[in-house]
């Protein structure tokens, strides 16, 4: 419902939560990037209505699975390179600049929080980053442009020039170990927060979805902003069902 100040009740509640907190953490999922044109996994038309995910064991165990993985990666659906941050990302960046939000924990692999101007060390990537690749054995970084060129030419699979290991997008697949450093940082930021706002995540992928619950159990206020209901709505202090860009943009005053 709109009121005299022109703000929806939900938007006003979100604004006052940010005003009243001293240390907020924002937790994001694929939903914050759909307004940048990157499909999420679970919405109608999302990536999983088109492809079954290739898990880590399949990737490592089968050259056919690796071929399929890179074909998808370089198809338009899997290509995030041309996407730009949207109003939701810019509103989060504004909150970080104001000092309200100390860090952004993200399940996203698109690098759009960094592209919105947030310093690298304030973005905690739980599922890695799809904008580059890495060797699974020695960790050496590999750029996608060179991999793409060789792959598009005759489907040459990338091999590490340093150690001969298998190269994969620097993301975490199902069945792959979580990045320990990012998990530890996410936990300590979550425990230090008095406000935790989860946006654009169905909150079904664990262990990532454990952070909102941890924040709440630790005494923080929990707010969820998502188009559809999530598994943790019952636990939250405030649930807003709607589009992130318009809601957060209005709450924070970013157009
Ligand atoms: P998800 O697909 O499970 O859930 C996304 C949620 O966002 C859905 O519940 C949907 O209703 C909601 N949503 C979509 N657009 C929205 C909008 N504009 N405003 C508000 N809500 C919106 O995504 P997830 O929970 O992040 O988990 C899926 C996994 O897929 C993650 O681990 C992530 O690594 C990966 N993923 C990342 C990207 C990306 O980096 N952009 C894209 C797809 C998947
Ligand atoms: Zn290597």
Res 59: pLDDT? 97
Query: Tokens 């996608």 appear where?
Result: 144
Torsion angle, CA of 180/181/186/187, rounded to 10 degrees? 70
Please give the number of the atom of ligand 1 that sits closest to the Cα of 203.
25
Cross-strand partners of 225: 199, 240
Ligand 2 centroid – CA 64 distance (Å): 20
The separation between the first and the last C-alpha atoms of the chain, rounded to the nearest angstrom, is 21
Ligand nearest to the CA of 41: 1
Cβ–Cβ < 8 Å for 101, 24: yes
pTM for the full model?
0.92
Ligand 1 centroid – CA 28 distance (Å): 8
In 10 A of CB 83, how many CB atoms? 15
With left for phi above 0 and alpha for psi between -120 and 50, is residue 40 left, alpha or beta? beta
Taking only the tens place, the pLDDT of each residue in 125-151 is 999 999 899 999 999 999 999 999 999
Taking only the tens place, the pLDDT of each residue in 147-191 is 999 999 999 999 999 999 999 999 999 999 999 999 999 999 999
**Which residues are identified as catalytic?**
127
| Number of H-type helices and E-type strands within the chain | 9, 9
Ligand 1 contact via 12 beta carbon (within 6 Å): no
Cβ–Cβ < 8 Å for 53, 59: no
Pocket test residue of 11, 14, 27, 29 for ligand 1, highest count of atoms within 8 A of CB = 29
Cβ–Cβ < 8 Å for 74, 148: yes
Q: Which residue has the least CA distance to atom 25 on ligand 1?
A: 201
Between CA 141 and CA 170 the distance in angstroms is 8
- Please enumerate in sequence order all residues whose Cβ is within 8 A of that of 12, keeping only pairs 6 or more positions apart, or say none: 3, 5, 251
Ligand 2 centroid – CA 60 distance (Å): 14
Mean pLDDT of the chain, nearest integer: 92
Ligand 1 contact via 46 beta carbon (within 6 Å): yes
Res 49: pLDDT? 61
């Amino acid at each position: 419902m709109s009121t005299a100040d022109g703000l929806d009740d939900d938007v006003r509640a979100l604004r006052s939560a940010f005003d009243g907190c001293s240390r907020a953490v924002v937790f994001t999922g694929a939903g914050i990037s759909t307004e940048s044109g990157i499909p999420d996994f679970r919405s109608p038309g999302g990536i999983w209505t088109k492809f079954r995910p290739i898990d880590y064991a399949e990737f490592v165990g089968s050259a056919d699975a690796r071929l399929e993985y890179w074909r998808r990666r370089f198809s338009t659906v899997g290509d995030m390179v041309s996407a730009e941050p949207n109003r939701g990302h810019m509103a989060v960046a504004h909150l970080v600049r104001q000092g309200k939000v100390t860090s952004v924990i993200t399940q996203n692999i698109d690098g759009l929080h960094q592209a919105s101007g947030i310093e690298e060390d304030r973005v905690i990537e739980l599922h890695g980053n799809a904008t580059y690749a890495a060797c699974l054995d020695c960790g050496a970084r590999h750029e996608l442009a060179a991999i793409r060129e060789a792959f598009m030419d005759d489907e040459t699979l990338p091999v590490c020039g340093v150690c001969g290991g298998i190269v994969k997008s620097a993301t975490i697949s199902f069945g792959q170990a979580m990045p320990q450093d990012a998990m530890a940082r996410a936990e300590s930021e979550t425990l230090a927060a008095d406000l935790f706002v989860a946006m654009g995540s169905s909150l079904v992928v664990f262990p990532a979805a454990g952070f909102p619950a941890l924040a709440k159990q630790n005494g923080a206020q929990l707010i969820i902003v998502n188009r559809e209901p999530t598994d943790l709505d019952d636990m939250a202090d405030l649930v807003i069902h709607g589009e992130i860009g318009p809601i957060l943009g209005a709450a924070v005053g970013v157009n």
